[in-house]
């Protein structure tokens, strides 16, 4: 497996980002990194994509940047020229895949049926994008694919959020998941990068499968109780709520 795909697997989540202006790129990239998801798939659905990728790769070397919604070889060439380290496409375009394979660029084309999986195998791919995931049968469809195609892993994208994120990641044929719920265009256009960071942290906690039902700590005074609540907030992304006789996280 390509080193870039191994890095994506290590993160587990690929934010699918739509940017309307290159000026949004670096603040968004910083928000992702601070949220614990140092990956960005910048879609080629806007004219700002190419310049945004250039800015991100130049100014945030710790961020793994790729290009999404790549549907032509020209877009693939432009994306790689701008610094994209991986290519993602919504469907299976043999010309795009062959170009990337020949250039040793990780590519995950979109598939949702056996014939497309076999096209990918024929061209030497072992990681594919499952798209649109929920509309194509979701996790149960991936489990069905696992029988005849046991060596293939997937990056499901489409209809995935915090409610079903853990279900996908718990399946060993899922390399990572893609989604845009933490980078909604309205958040970016409004400059709400703090909210992007918060949603990323939430997604990371869900992806890790960590769950705390209830923990009560008796403290000698209010200050100690508040300090413990804030520690929980720092460690696990909880929100502190101060009460009359207790402080909650």
| 152-193 confidence digits (pLDDT tens) | 999 999 999 999 999 999 999 999 999 999 999 999 999 999
Question: Do residue 45 and residue 149 come from a single domain?
Answer: yes
Domain around 48: 3-208
Q: Is 129 a catalytic residue?
A: yes
Asked whether residue 9 carries a pLDDT value surpassing 80, the answer given is yes
14 neighbors 8 (Cβ within 8 angstroms): yes
Question: Do residue 126 and residue 49 come from a single domain?
Answer: yes
Look at residue 236 in the predicted model and tell me its pLDDT.
74
Question: Do residue 85 and residue 183 come from a single domain?
Answer: yes
Choice among 18, 85, 129, 153 that is catalytic: 129
Choice among 41, 50, 55, 173 that is catalytic: 41
- Distance separating alpha carbons of residues 138 and 158, to the nearest angstrom: 9
Domains held by the chain: number: 2
Question: Do residue 135 and residue 228 come from a single domain?
Answer: no
> Model confidence over 12-58: pLDDT tens digits?
999 999 999 999 999 999 999 999 999 999 999 999 999 999 999 99
In sequence order, the β-bridge partners of residue 130 are 111, 156
Q: Is 41 a catalytic residue?
A: yes
Least Cα distance to 101 among 90, 89, 111 occurs for 89
């Amino acid at each position: 497996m390509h080193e870039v795909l191994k890095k994506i697997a290590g993160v587990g989540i690929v934010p699918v980002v739509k940017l309307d202006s290159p000026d949004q790129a670096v603040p968004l990239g910083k928000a992702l990194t601070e949220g614990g998801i140092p990956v960005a798939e910048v879609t080629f659905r806007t004219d700002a994509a190419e310049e945004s990728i250039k800015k991100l790769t130049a100014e945030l070397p710790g961020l793994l940047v790729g290009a999404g919604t790549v549907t032509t070889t020209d877009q693939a060439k432009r994306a790689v020229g701008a610094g994209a380290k991986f290519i993602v496409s919504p469907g299976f375009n043999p010309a795009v895949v062959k170009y990337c394979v020949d250039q040793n660029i990780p590519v995950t084309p979109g598939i949702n049926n056996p014939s497309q999986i076999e096209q990918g195998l024929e061209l030497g791919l072992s990681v594919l994008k499952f798209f649109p995931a929920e509309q194509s049968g979701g996790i149960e469809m991936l489990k069905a694919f696992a029988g005849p195609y046991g060596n293939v892993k997937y990056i499901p994208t489409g209809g995935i959020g915090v409610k079903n994120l853990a279900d996908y990641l718990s399946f060993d044929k899922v390399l990572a998941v893609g989604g845009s719920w933490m980078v909604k265009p309205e958040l970016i256009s409004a400059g709400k990068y703090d909210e992007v960071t918060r949603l990323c942290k939430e997604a990371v906690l869900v992806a890790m499968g960590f769950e705390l039902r209830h923990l009560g700590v008796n403290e000698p005074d209010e200050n100690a109780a508040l300090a413990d609540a804030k520690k929980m907030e720092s460690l696990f992304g909880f929100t502190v709520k101060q009460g009359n006789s207790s402080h909650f996280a």
